[in-house]
Amino acid sequence: MAEQDQEKALALSTPYRFRSNEDEDIPIEISKKHRRCIKCCGCFTAVFLLLAAISLVLSFTVFIIKEPKIKLNSVSVDHLDQINSTLRSGKNLTLTADVSVKNPNVVSFKFKNTTTIVYYNGTVVGDAGGPAGKVKAKRTLRMNVTADIVPSKMLGVQSFDTDVNRGTLNLSSYTKIDGEVKILFRKQVVVNLNCTSMFNITSKRILSQQCTKHVLD
3 CA to centre of own chain: 33
Bridge partner residues of 74 (DSSP):
98
Tell me if 113 contacts ligand NAG by CB under 6 A. yes
State the number of binding residues for ligand NAG (CB under 6 A): 39
Q: Which is nearer to ligand NAG, 5 or 98 (CB)?
A: 98
Beginning with the edge strand found earlier in the chain, give each strand of the sheet holding 93-102 in spatial order: 69-77, 93-102, 140-149
If the CB atoms of residues 41 and 101 are measured against ligand NAG, the closer one turns out to be: 101
Name the residue nearer to ligand NAG (CB basis): 106 or 155: 155
Is-contact 95 171, C-beta < 8 A? Answer: yes
- State how far the Cα of 30 lies from the Cα of 115, in Å rounded to an integer: 69
Q: How far apart are CA 128 and CA 148, in angstroms?
A: 7
Applying CB under 6 A, does 92 fall inside the site for ligand NAG? yes
Helix/strand number for the chain, H first, E second: 5, 9
Interface residue with ligand NAG, options 157, 183, 211, 215 (CB under 6 A): 157
How far is CA 74 from its chain centroid?
21
Binder of ligand NAG out of 59, 61, 158, 188 (CB under 6 A):
158
Q: How far is the CB of 65 from ligand NAG (least distance, A)?
A: 19
Chain residues that interact with ligand NAG, rule: CB under 6 A: 84, 88, 92, 96, 98, 112-113, 115, 121-123, 142-144, 148, 150, 157-159, 161, 163-165, 167-168, 170, 174, 176, 178, 192, 194, 198, 200, 202-203, 207-208, 212, 214
